[in-house]
C-alpha cells in the first residue's frame, strides 16, 4: 500500500512541475488577463478535487480489502 502512496506523491510532484513550467510564460500577463486568471483558479480547484477523489479511492480500496 505504501507504494501506491509514493506513486501518488510522485504523480502529484510531476503534475506540479508541469503546471508551473507551462504557466511560467503566462504568469507575467496573468494580472492583465482576467480569463486566464480564472482558468488558473479552475485548474487549481480541479487539481484539488482530483487529489480528494484519488485519496477517497485509495481509502475505499483499503476498507474493501480489510472487509474481505
Report the chain's mean pLDDT, rounded to a whole number.
77
Q: Quote the CA–CA distance of 26 and 33 in Å, as a whole number.
A: 9
Confidence class for position 1, pLDDT limits 50, 70, 90: very low
Domain count, the chain: 1
SS3 labels along 24-35: HHHHCCCCCCHH
In a domain, 3, yes or no: no
| pLDDT > 60? residue 12 | yes
Mean pLDDT of 1-12: 60
Query: Is residue 62 in a domain?
Result: yes
- Report yes or no on 56 lying in a domain: yes
Q: pTM of the predicted model, to two decimals?
A: 0.48
Asked whether residue 27 is domain-assigned, the answer is no
Indicate whether 10 belongs to any domain. Answer: no
Grid cell at residue 56 = 477517497
Tens of pLDDT, residues 29-62? 656 778 877 888 899 999 999 999 999 999 999 9
Amino acid at each position: 500500500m505504501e507504494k501506491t502512496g509514493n506513486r501518488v506523491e510522485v504523480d502529484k510532484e510531476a503534475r506540479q512541475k508541469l503546471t508551473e513550467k507551462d504557466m511560467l510564460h503566462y504568469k507575467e500577463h496573468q494580472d492583465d488577463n482576467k480569463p486566464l486568471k480564472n482558468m488558473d483558479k479552475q485548474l487549481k480547484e480541479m487539481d484539488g478535487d482530483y487529489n480528494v477523489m484519488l485519496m477517497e479511492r485509495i481509502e475505499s480500496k483499503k476498507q474493501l480489502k480489510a472487509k474481505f
